[in-house]
Amino acid sequence: MGAAFAIVERNGLALWLSGPHTSAAQPMPDGRIPEPGGWNRLVIEVPDVSAEVERLRSAGVVFRNEPLTGPGGTQVVLDDPSGNPVELFSAR
């Protein structure tokens, strides 16, 4: 088995490529599963995912799932005001 995910960087832009063994591949609580073309999202690195979830929930932000811990760290997916997925991520 290869790496769970890879990060490709160029000129300050990082592209995260998640494989089938990452927390990003787990189904959402409503049963939706990742599929090509529908799970692209921005990733914002934060120092503490749990603290950000608490802060944002109190402001009314809707999350797609609860924080998950995988091979690289902890992540949670929220919806931006337009319904686009945004991942908050904190490395281990």
Strand runs labelled E in the chain:
5-10, 13-18, 42-45, 68-69, 73-79, 85-91
Residue 55's pLDDT band, with cuts at 50, 70 and 90, is very high
pTM over 0.75, yes/no: no
Total number of domains in the chain? 1
Q: Which domain range does residue 56 map to? A: 5-91
Residue 52's pLDDT band, with cuts at 50, 70 and 90, is very high
pLDDT tens per residue across span 68-88: 998 889 999 998 888 888 999
pLDDT tens per residue across span 30-48: 888 877 666 678 899 999 9
CATH number, domain containing residue 74? 3.30.720.110
